Amino acid sequence: MQTLYYFMERKEWTNQEILDIYQQPLMDLLYQAASVHRANHDPNKVQVSSLISIKTGGCSEDCGYCPQAARYHTDIEGNDLMSVRQVKAQALRAKASGSSRVCLGAAWRNVKDGKDFDEVIEMVREITQLEMEVCCTLGMLTENQAKRLEEAGLYAYNHNIDSSEEYYKEVISTRAFEDRLETIGNVRKTSITLCSGGIIGMGESVEDRAGMLKILANMYPQPESVPINALVPVEGTPLEEQGPVSIFEMVRMVATTRIVLPQTQVRLSAGRTQMSEEGQALCFFAGANSIFAGDKLLTTPNPDIKQDMKLFNELSIKTQAPFEKHAKREPKEPVTPPLGENPKWTRPKHKIERNEQARIKAKNLSK
Ligand code: SAM
Ligand code: DTB
Ligand code: SF4
């Protein structure tokens, strides 16, 4: 009965309602989430998406979790933008090993009109022709840039809100939460589907987790996919010493996401290397129906895809075909010209002590 309700009217969620769901006895939470999941999805089907880091490292931002921020001293190997040929070859390999979707990630604050963006548009066109869903995560985006990606056939845009609005300020000072929402709004002016989620394990409270889900659940329409990442603490970043996220916190987060966003694809994202197979199976039961596959996320390790496929086989899980949830978006003739925009995205620049310390440590190390 409860599930029917979701189809019938739009619900405005409060923090307290989401918190009550998150904090109920685990067995009740699992039962409720699995019921919502079964009413809205095939519980034995999971989408497999592969990440390709098309431009790695050297990013101007100070996101406290991110190994790609230039200001921190991490061990990652940076790269300029990959060529269309290289990205296409990697997408074909991902397809051959069972992925129906690729997500192209760039360590950019925002998209800038010019040669690099033109290349990304070409990547989207080419990979869409391979009958794969293409997602991009390129940072902040204007409406005109979103339109150009739409014309290229882009299926999804990933732009995470990452945490509650309050906790976001404790993690990032070089860009503002409202700019994230504005980019999401620009994506929503097109027919590109929206992928937006966040990270748990950054030191946030359960209220912050509920706060993040409230924003996502109250979007109308709700995001078509929601990645739930467990922080991968990387040496050199301000969050390097954060303790691991327990499997039961992850299960609670996945289950709560499933209940408040019944139709979305809930993606078990970063952090799977820390999870047992039994833990992942519990997440699938609780409503996760998508994973990031491939031995690397963007810069950090991820389980081997053969191991993932073995697990799927043991659980009798089938993989989701491309365009199964939403129709393919055929590339169109490009008619929207670049505007050469240089939008003034916000830079709050408040002081975050641990980010400051990590920056100073990195400076001293490079002397
Ligand atoms: N630069 C673009 C942006 O920030 O929107 C796109 C790439 S960014 C790396 C994409 C997302 O990866 C972030 O929003 C964050 O949710 C996730 N992420 C980055 N580092 C992570 C980490 N160490 N652990 C878990 N998730 C992480
Ligand atoms: C998302 O929510 N998680 C992915 C994808 N969207 C781009 C990225 C995870 C990155 C984990 C850290 C790294 O490998 O650099
Ligand atoms: Fe840059 Fe994105 Fe990493 Fe932030 S999360 S430092 S914007 S790559």
Residue-wise DSSP of 43-104? TTEEEEEEEEEEEBS-BS---TT-TTBTTS---PPPB-PPPHHHHHHHHHHHHHTT-SEEEE
**Residue 343: its pLDDT value, please?**
82
CA of 270 to the centre of ligand 2 (A): 6
Residue nearest to atom 2 of ligand 3 (CA): 107
Ligand 1, atom 25, residue with closest C-alpha: 231
Quick check: is 13 in a domain?
A: no
pLDDT over 90 (residue 341)? no
Cis peptide before 221 (omega within 30 of 0): yes
Residue whose CA is at the smallest distance from ligand 1 atom 4: 139
Active site residue 359: no
Residue 3 has pLDDT above 50, yes or no: no
Q: Where is average pLDDT lowest: 189-198, 232-241, 339-348?
A: 339-348
Mean pLDDT on 39-47: 98
Q: How many residues does the chain have?
A: 367
Average pLDDT over residues 43-54: 98
Q: Give the distance (Å) from ligand 3 centre to CA of residue 70.
A: 9
Q: What is the pLDDT of residues 170-214, one digit of tens each?
A: 999 999 999 999 999 999 999 999 999 999 999 999 999 999 999
283 is catalytic: no
Q: Above 60 in pLDDT, residue 1?
A: no
> Distance of CA 236 to CAs 167, 177, 345, Å?
21, 24, 27
Nearest atom, ligand 2, residue 302 CA: 14
Residue 140 lies in a domain: yes
The Å distance, Cα 66 to ligand 1 centre, comes to 6
User: Which secondary-structure segment (H or E) carries 193?
Assistant: strand 193-195
Q: Does the beta carbon of 227 sit less than 6 angstroms from any atom of ligand 2? A: yes
Give 358's contacts (C-beta < 8 A, 6+ positions apart). 64, 71, 72, 73, 236, 237, 238, 240
pLDDT band at 10 (very low <50, low <70, confident <90, very high): confident
Half-sphere exposure of 231 (CA within 13 A, CB side): 26
Residues β-bridged to residue 25: none
Nearest-ligand number for the alpha carbon of 240? 1
pLDDT of amino acid 295: 85
Q: Candidates 54, 81, 137, 345: which one to mutate for ligand 1, based on the most atoms within 8 Å of Cβ?
A: 137
Q: Please confirm, yes or no, whether 63 is among the known catalytic residues.
A: yes
Q: Is residue 66 part of a domain?
A: yes
Judge whether 333 lies within some domain.
Answer: no
At residue 121, the 3 state secondary structure works out as helix
User: Residue 52 forms beta bridges with which residues?
Assistant: 104
Helix (H) or strand (E) holding 310: helix 305-315
212 is a domain residue: yes
- The pTM of the full predicted model, rounded to 2 decimals, is 0.96
Q: Which pLDDT value is given to residue 213?
A: 98
Whole-number pLDDT of residue 64: 98
What's the mean pLDDT in 61-82? 96
Query: What residues flank ligand 1, with Cβ below 6 Å?
Result: 65-66, 68, 105, 107-108, 137, 139, 159-160, 162, 199, 229, 231-232, 234, 270, 298
What is the pLDDT at residue 7? 52
Closest CA to 163 of 180, 148, 183: 180
Residue 118 in domain: yes
Domain membership of residue 10 (yes or no) is: no
Under DSSP, the state recorded for 324 is S
- Residue 4 has a pLDDT of 45
- For residue 264, the enclosing domain spans 27-323+341-365
Q: Pick the catalytic residue: 103, 125, 148, 329?
A: 103
Of all protein residues, whose CA lies closest to atom 7 belonging to ligand 3? 109
Q: Is the CB of 197 under 6 A from ligand 2?
A: yes
What pLDDT, on a 0 to 100 scale, did the predictor assign at position 45? 98
As for ligand 3, residues whose beta carbon falls within 6 Å of it are: 59, 61, 63, 66, 68-69, 107, 109, 139
Mean pLDDT of the chain: 95
* Percentage, residues of the chain above pLDDT 70: 98
Cα 8 to middle of ligand 2, angstroms: 34
In a domain, 141, yes or no: yes
Q: 89 Cβ partners below 8 Å, 6+ apart? A: none
Per-residue confidence band for 2, with pLDDT thresholds at 50, 70 and 90 = very low
Ligand 3 centroid distance, CA of 65 (Å) = 9
Share above pLDDT 90 across residues of the chain, in percent, rounded to a whole number: 94
Domain count, the chain: 1
Q: What is the CATH number of the domain that holds 67?
A: 3.20.20.70
Instruction: State the amino acid at position 50 in one-letter form.
Output: S
Cα 256 to middle of ligand 1, angstroms: 21
Query: Which residues have C-beta within 8 Å of that of residue 26, sequence separation ≥ 6?
Result: 248, 251, 252
Catalytic, 103? Answer: yes
Within 8 A by CB and 6+ apart from 96, the residues are none
Quick one: DSSP state of residue 325? Answer: S
Which residues contact residue 154 at a Cβ distance below 8 angstroms, ignoring those fewer than 6 apart?
124, 128, 134, 135, 136, 192, 329
195 as an active site residue: the answer is yes
Residue 9 reports pLDDT greater than 90: no
What average pLDDT does this structure show over 324-347? 91
Looking at residues 87-115, what average pLDDT do you find?
A: 97
